[in-house]
Each structure stands twice: as C-alpha cells, then as structure tokens.
Amino acid sequence: MAAEHIPGVAIDAFELRRVRIPLVTPFRTSFGTETHRDALLVQAIPKGGASGWGECVADVQPLYSPEYVDGAQQVIERYLIPRVFAANTPKASAIAGLLARVQGHPMAKGALEAAVLDAELRAANVSFGAYLGAARARVDCGVSVGIQTSPELLIDVVAGYLESGYKRIKLKIEPGSDVAFVRAIREHFGSELLLSADANASYSIDNPDHINALTALNPFKLLMLEQPLTADDIPAHARLATMIESPICLDESIVTARSAAYAISIGACKIVNIKPGRVGGYLEAVKVHDVCAANGVPVWCGGMLETGIGRAANVALGAMPNFSLPGDTSASSRYFAQDMTEPFVLEAGTLAVPTGPGIGVDPLPESLREFTTSVQLIRR
Ligand code: SMG
Ligand code: MG
C-alpha cells in the first residue's frame, strides 16, 4: 500500500506519556546495566477516530547514542510538534521533511512520525504490515543475551532461551568478556546454533589486545559480529573486515539509508541491523531495507527493549522481504512480566505480525495505570 494512497489525518493534540516498566531480568551491555524500561509513548490524537501510537526508543542515559529520553521529550515538545502543527494536516510521509531542519534526534522524530502514521493507518483501516508490504505472517525471532558474570551462567541463560524456541542467540560482549563466553556457548550448543555477538562499539582498531580478541573469535563461526568499533568510524570497520573472519553487521553506524549505502560500498558490513528509531522512523527504515536489498545485503530488525507498542510496528517491519535473518524482536515475556499491550507470544520461534488497523495493538488500561509516571498533553 503506497503512502500516497493513505489520506492524512488532522491531529488535534499529542500526548507525551512516560512509562516505567520493570524488566524480568537486568540487561547488561558494554555500556551499562538496565533494570527498567523507561519509555516515552507518543499518542497522536485526531479530531475524531482512533489515536495513533509511537514509542520513542531513547534510553534514560545517552550511552547507546547521543539521545536520551528526557531530551527526546523536550525536543519533541519544543521543536518537533510545533513544526507538525504549523503544517496543518501533514501526512506521515511528509513529517521527516518538515523536521529535517532540526539536526539529529532521530529517535524523537521517529516516534512522532510513527504516531501520526499509526493514526493515518487506523483511519484508513490498513495494517502496518500491509502498508509496509509484509511478505510473511510471522517473523523469526532471536534473543539478545546480556553479559553474564561467568560462561557457566551464560550457558544456563542461553539454554533457557533455546528451550523457549528462539532461533538465534546474540551474545553481548565487551573487551574482557568475549572469547571465553563465545567459546563456551559454541562448544556447549554445537556448530548448528545461529550465534552472533554484539560489542556495542566497545573495541578499538588501534588496540592490539582488542584486535587479538576479535581475531580469536574466528574459530567460532559467528553468524555476525555486530558493531565492534565506534559508530562514527565506518572506514575502520572496512579495515577490520580484512583482518577477521566474522562477518561484520553494523548497528550504531547506520543512521540513514545513505550511511547504509556508503558502508556497503566500502565493504564495512555484510549485514545491517535496522532499528527504526536509530534512522529517524519507519519510512527511513524502509529505505535502508531497500538499499540493502538492492545490494544483496541481508537485514534484520534490532530491538531497544520496546514495549508492545514499539514491538508491534517492529514485527510488521521485520516481515518485509529482505529481513531474512531472525531479529531481536523477542517475546514480551523476555522483557516484562506485564507488557503495555497484550503480550507478544513466541510460537515455534516466531511472533505473529499484527493484522488489525495500524500497529494492531493498544495499550492496556491496567498497564497505563500501573506504569505511567507522567503525562503531558500538547494541543494544537
Ligand atoms: O530489544 O531485545 C532487545 C534488545 C536488543 O541488544 C539489543 N539492543 O545494540 O542491539 C543493540 C542493543 C541496544 C539496546 S541496549 C539497551
Ligand atoms: Mg546492537
């Protein structure tokens, strides 16, 4: 369903709602440990009809990227919503253009665009999946496993996820917590396991110990090594690709379809992790998908510990044709005892693409009551 055929919807007000939900287990990455998901939900409220919802994936601290959730809320309120209101009834497909003069803040922009797009699709009675051109009704799911205190403990945690049916295991790594952990998992679970590692930019190409560790991963036949080096140095990833055997996947470095095309052209990555928030929204994510498809580079949908709101849209995105590897779109139970929406449930290692209008899910009243920490209403 092409964007041109979806009519715009007049948005009367935006609600910026903060929710804080406990994680079932702390999530440790190379940049810290999270125990809660503190999300900003954007609700686009039309004059009549159903509201649209978008989830901002900015974290509490600016560690994964420069954005952080308080800052995202402020930039949405002060600089983004006024531009949307000034344009009268812009279609979701026009929003990125309206916001382009505001530098950066892709996660804030993406959440606003998602909310407007959801309102439009609900009014047009079109599902996100149909709109994006979903090629399948269910998507394959992997799981991202936080850094554990020992390889033995990691084996137990991974065993639990494999029992649940996850089709790919991604290990978070950092210098000092890498080779022994990857070796333990490969040796324990065998060569058939789809296994990847995500460094979240924690290695340096100038540090011989780091390069030795990444080279020592060669025998473990990783499906991919995700974002080993700093986000702003795509050329260093191209150099690293000539030094190690693990195929490189880029996450933090890919911020637009343009950067994806560049990274691919210089041999910096063989795989791309697509996160809509990181690239400024679902419409840019589709462009990243298309650039990668045109170059024969497989993609998969990343995750930012989304609640059911963001997950619903991600699962629809992950059903596009070139999403040919299992994503970090895990089931609700991997994150939360109680999600913001009806839970996404893993069946045979897959999640169902929602089929209702828009993102196809709504926040549960009891979750809104229990998890909301603040609400800000911004009227036209
Ligand atoms: O949503 O399951 C999830 C998290 C997946 O590992 C994940 N995300 O770099 O890919 C990544 C990280 C970034 C988020 S850490 C809070
Ligand atoms: Mg990553």
* pLDDT digit string, tens, across residues 95-138: 999 999 999 999 999 999 999 999 999 999 999 999 999 999 99
Is residue 175 domain-shared with residue 267, that is, in the same domain? yes
Q: For residue 249, what are the CA distances in angstroms to 66, 72, 169, 176, 197? A: 21, 27, 15, 21, 10
**Minimum-distance ligand 1 atom for the alpha carbon of 303:** 1
283 domain residue, yes or no: yes
198 lines ligand 1 (CB under 6 A): yes
Distance (angstroms) between ligand 2 centre and the Cα of 370 equals: 30
Q: Do the beta carbons of residue 146 and residue 173 sit within 8 Å?
A: no
pLDDT confidence of residue 177: 97
Q: Are residues 208 and 67 in the same domain?
A: no
Among 21, 23, 25, 29, the mutation site with the greatest number of ligand 1 atoms within 8 A of its Cβ is 29
If you average pLDDT over residues 54-77, what whole number do you get? Answer: 98
> How high is the mean pLDDT of the chain?
97
Sorted by sequence, the CB contacts under 8 Å of residue 69 that are 6+ apart come out as 18, 38, 39, 40, 56, 58, 59, 60
214 in the same domain as 339:
yes
The reported pLDDT for the residue numbered 367 is 98
The yes-or-no verdict on residue 298 having pLDDT over 60 is: yes
98 and 159 both lie in a single domain: no
Whichever domain contains 44, its CATH number is: 3.30.390.10
**Domain residue limits at 62:** 3-124+366-379
From 56, 143, 200, give the residue whose CB has the most ligand 1 atoms within 8 Å, as the site to mutate.
200
The burial class, CB within 10 Å (0-12 / 13-18 / 19+), for 70 is middle
| Closest atom of ligand 1 to CA, residue 302 | 10
Residue nearest to ligand 1 atom 14, measured at CA? 304
One domain, residues 371 and 331: no
Count of structural domains within the chain:
2
Confirm whether 185 is domain-assigned: yes
357 assigned to some structural domain: no
Model confidence pLDDT, tens digit, residues 166-207: 999 999 999 999 999 999 999 999 999 999 999 999 999 999
Whether residues 170 and 68 share a domain: the answer is: no
- My answer on whether 307 and 190 are in the same domain is yes
- Chain CA centroid to CA 116, Å: 19
Query: Is residue 344 in contact with ligand 1, taking CB distance under 6 Å?
Result: no
Same domain, 70 and 177: no
Same domain, residue pair 203 and 347: yes
Q: What is the CATH number of the domain that holds 277?
A: 3.20.20.120
Using pLDDT thresholds of 50, 70 and 90, give the confidence band for residue 1: low
Whether residues 317 and 374 fall in one domain: no
Distance CA 224, CA 250 (A): 10
- Residue 88, pLDDT score: 86
Residue 316 covered by a domain: yes
- Residue 157 within any structural domain of the chain: yes
Do 59 and 203 belong to one domain?
no
Answer yes or no: is 359 within a domain: no
297 assigned to some structural domain: yes
